[in-house]
Every structure is written in C-alpha cells, then in structure tokens.
C-alpha cells in the first residue's frame, strides 16, 4: 500500500493501473462483441454474452484488488442480506453523492450478484473505450428530453419509455442486477435547496424510471436491493478516492419485496397505481434518510 506517499503521488501511481485495466478489458469486450451476432442459435449468442459478462466481472475484481494493494487502507463497513446469488435477477437502488458511489457498488456487489448494469445517459457512449465496452455489455443508454423540448416536439413524448422497454428485453435471458440511482443526479447542497427536498441527505426520488423498468422486466425480478452509502469523512470526489483520501465507507443493503402490481401496472396511465408506487418509494427514501443520519452520527470505524 502507498499510504506513506503524498496524495498526488498516490494518484499518479494508481490511476495508470486502473486506466490500463479498463482499456484492456473494454477493448477485449468490444472486439469480441460482434461474435454474438454471428452465432446461429440463441444458446450460442447467450454463451457469448455470458463470456463478455465474465470478462467485465474480472475487470471489476482486478480493480478491487488494485484498490486494496495500492491505496491506503479503506475501512469498509458493509452489511449485506444473506443468500445473494449470481443466477437471480435483482433491481438495485442507491443514493447518489459522488462518482465514487459507482466504485463502491462494484466493490460491494461484484461476484455476489449478477454484474451490475446501470442506466446511462446517451452521451456517455462516446467515452473512449469505456463507452463501447458498456454498449457491448448491453448497458441501457437513455436519451432524456427536457420539458421545453417536449413542448416543441410532442412526438418525442414516451420515446424514453420505449427505449427502456427495449433495453430491458435484453435482460430477460441472462441474470442481471439492474442499477438505478433514483435521484437521477448526484446530491449537492445547491440541488437540494433548488428542489426544496424534504429529506436531509437525499434529493427527491424519481419513481417513474423504476416503475417502467419493473413493468418491462416482469416478475422475473427476484427482489429489490435497497442500498445506502455513507461517507463519515465527507462526500469524496473521484480524485479524493484516487489519491487515497477516502478512509471510511459504510454501506447497508436491505432486501425488500417489490409490490406485485409493479410488474404489470401502467404507471403512466393508472393514476391510482402511480400514487401508491410514489408513496412506497417515498417511504423507502424516508427510511434511507434516517439510516444515513445514523451512519454518519455513529462515529468513524476504528482503524
């Protein structure tokens, strides 16, 4: 571990290793992806998909190993439900504070559940190497339209829902952990104030995307993994992590049943369901806000 070195030097030594690992696996996955379209049967195509996911899982595992070997010791305080399996379908939600959240989620779930797949902004597909790799792994890329755009072009209304359903169809045949940050963006004090959020540590959750995904996937979704992330030392930036400044991370994962009606109800047109689903999500967020408060006020873990 490099804890005895200055933070800038730690980042200088750490970043090239992680970048090289990412470029290698993203390039390999991208090169092998066309084989999926050349396979004559669904079974062979599924086999190629499973192999690509194995490569991605290996990438995440090696990154986790690099974090352990090169960064100053991180005290991980993690609580998980028993019985997580890699052959089940999970819907994973979490609060969102930093790009470090993504690193934390891969650390927590990699090898314990199917590989995490995030809903991503369409613009991210142009990230060199990484964007092509995520496309090859069937990460769902979404294009959001603002209210102003929809007012000018009403024909675009509902297109994001169609895209969600099309993306989720790919998940029906291979176990997956579908990851969604319900807040839709990272928490900042400015955004919190602009929203007039009723929560202390959270932005308002957006229940619609979650409802559309659940209805598209159907009842094959095993359960909800409600994940809460807290940083006792303060919300870190990505460079804080790369520089070894993140020393304590607390994560609580709670298994929750998904309301059965969520698999078939029409969120957009069924007002009664929409209201009940939003109330359910709001209750999760109230509990999560209280949990974050508890995690932050209980003191730092001892090193």
Q: Is residue 42 part of a domain?
A: no
Lowest mean pLDDT among 157-166, 192-201, 229-238: 157-166
Cβ atoms of residues 278 and 286 within 8 Å:
no
The range of the structural domain enclosing residue 221 comes to: 76-297
Q: Is residue 67 part of a domain?
A: no
Q: Is residue 230 part of a domain?
A: yes
- The pTM assigned to this predicted structure is 0.87
Q: Is residue 51 part of a domain?
A: no
pLDDT at res. 302: 44
Confidence of residue 303 (pLDDT cuts 50, 70, 90): very low
pLDDT at res. 163: 67
Cβ atoms of residues 260 and 122 within 8 Å:
no
pLDDT above 60 (res 153)? yes
Q: Is residue 54 part of a domain?
A: no
d(CA 262, CA 270): 11
Q: Is residue 222 part of a domain?
A: yes
Lowest mean pLDDT among 23-27, 70-74, 123-127, 268-272: 123-127
Q: Is residue 58 part of a domain?
A: no
pLDDT above 80 (res 151)? no
Number of domains in the chain: 1
CA distances from 217 to 5, 159, 177 (A): 48, 18, 12
pLDDT at res. 156: 59
d(CA 235, CA 237): 7
Give the closest residue to 134 by CA, choosing from 116, 113, 111, 114.
116
CATH code of residue 172 = 3.40.1130
pLDDT at res. 124: 76
If one compares 145 and 107, the residue with the highest pLDDT of the two is: 107
Give the position of tokens 């899982």.
57
Confidence of residue 114 (pLDDT cuts 50, 70, 90): very high
Lowest mean pLDDT among 23-37, 70-84, 157-171, 185-199: 157-171
Return mean pLDDT, the chain: 86
Give the closest residue to 181 by CA, choosing from 61, 99, 255, 239.
99
d(CA 130, CA 28): 11
- As a whole number, mean pLDDT of residues 270-277 equals 93
Give the closest residue to 175 by CA, choosing from 269, 82, 22, 57.
57
Confidence of residue 248 (pLDDT cuts 50, 70, 90): very high
Q: Is residue 198 part of a domain?
A: yes
């Amino acid at each position: 571990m490099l804890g005895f070195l200055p933070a800038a030097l730690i980042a200088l030594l750490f970043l090239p290793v992680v970048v090289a690992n990412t470029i290698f696996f993203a390039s390999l996955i991208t090169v092998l992806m066309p084989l999926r379209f050349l396979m004559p049967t669904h079974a062979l195509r599924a086999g190629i998909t499973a192999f690509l996911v194995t490569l991605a899982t290996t990438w995440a595992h090696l990154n986790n190993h690099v974090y352990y070997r090169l960064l100053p010791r991180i005290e991980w305080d993690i609580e998980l439900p028993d019985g997580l399996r890699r052959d089940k379908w999970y819907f994973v939600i979490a609060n969102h504070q930093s790009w470090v959240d993504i690193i934390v989620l891969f650390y927590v779930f990699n090898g314990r559940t199917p590989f995490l797949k995030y809903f991503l902004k369409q613009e991210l597909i142009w990230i060199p190497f990484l964007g092509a790799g995520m496309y090859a792994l069937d990460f769902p890329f979404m294009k959001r339209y603002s209210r102003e755009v929809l007012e000018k072009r009403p024909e675009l209304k509902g297109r994001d829902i169609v895209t969600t359903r099309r993306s989720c169809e790919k998940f029906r045949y291979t176990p997956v952990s579908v990851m969604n940050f319900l807040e839709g963006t990272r928490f900042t004090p400015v955004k919190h104030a602009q929203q007039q959020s009723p929560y202390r540590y959270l932005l308002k959750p957006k229940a619609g995307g979650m409802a559309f995904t659940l209805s598209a996937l159907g009842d094959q979704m095993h359960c909800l993994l409600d994940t809460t992330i807290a940083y006792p030392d303060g919300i870190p930036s990505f460079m804080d992590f790369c520089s070894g400044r993140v020393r304590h991370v607390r994560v609580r994962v709670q298994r929750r049943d998904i309301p059965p009606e969520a698999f078939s109800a029409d969120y957009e047109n069924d007002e009664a369901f929409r209201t009940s689903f939003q109330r359910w999500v709001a209750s999760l967020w109230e509990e999560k806000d209280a949990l974050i408060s508890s995690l932050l006020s209980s003191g730092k873990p001892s090193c």
